[in-house]
Amino acid sequence: MEYVAEELFLLRLPEGTDLDEYKVGALLLRAENTILDIIGRKRLPEQLIDVQVELALVYYNRLGTEGEKKHSEGELSTEYIDGIPSDIEKRLRNYPRKAGALRGYDTEQA
């Protein structure tokens, strides 16, 4: 069975999570744009849809904590990861970049 990113994202959310389609779309778009910046492509390869979903989940979990590095309430303390988690970043860094992306010219056909 083939899933699209939105369906995979919704499957990974805790049961009872209420997110409208616009917020889901915005999180997935942000994740996609981040991935495309890293791999130097204009379109997201199908092999990276699961990475897009993982990164969108990271962004979802950070909602409301933007700009915070650490948060404490009484004895409870939470530290936030800055940037992309290392497992996601490693997978993206290992993905082949588009030819010419490092030199600033486009060789990928649309």
What span, in angstroms and rounded, lies between the C-alpha atoms of 4 and 54?
13
Per-residue model confidence as pLDDT tens digits over 61-92: 888 766 666 667 788 877 766 788 999 999 99
Per-residue model confidence as pLDDT tens digits over 33-59: 999 999 989 999 999 999 999 999 999
Query: Is residue 54 within 8 Å of residue 88, measured between CB atoms?
Result: yes
Instruction: Flag whether 57 is in a domain.
Output: yes
Residue 8 pLDDT greater than 50, yes or no: yes
What span, in angstroms and rounded, lies between the C-alpha atoms of 41 and 20?
29
This prediction's pTM = 0.75
Lowest-pLDDT range of 1-10, 70-79, 88-97? 70-79
Domain count, the chain: 1
Instruction: Flag whether 27 is in a domain.
Output: yes
Residue tagged 């699209």 (tokens): 4
Mean pLDDT of 13-35: 91
DSSP 42-88: SS--GGGHHHHHHHHHHHHHTTT-TT-SEEEETTEEEEPPPSS-HHH
Instruction: Flag whether 110 is in a domain.
Output: no
Please, which pLDDT band fits residue 107 given cuts at 50, 70 and 90? very low
Instruction: Flag whether 106 is in a domain.
Output: no
What span, in angstroms and rounded, lies between the C-alpha atoms of 99 and 55?
25
Residue 61's domain comprises: 5-100
Instruction: Flag whether 65 is in a domain.
Output: yes
Instruction: Flag whether 107 is in a domain.
Output: no
Instruction: Identify the pLDDT of residue 33.
Output: 96
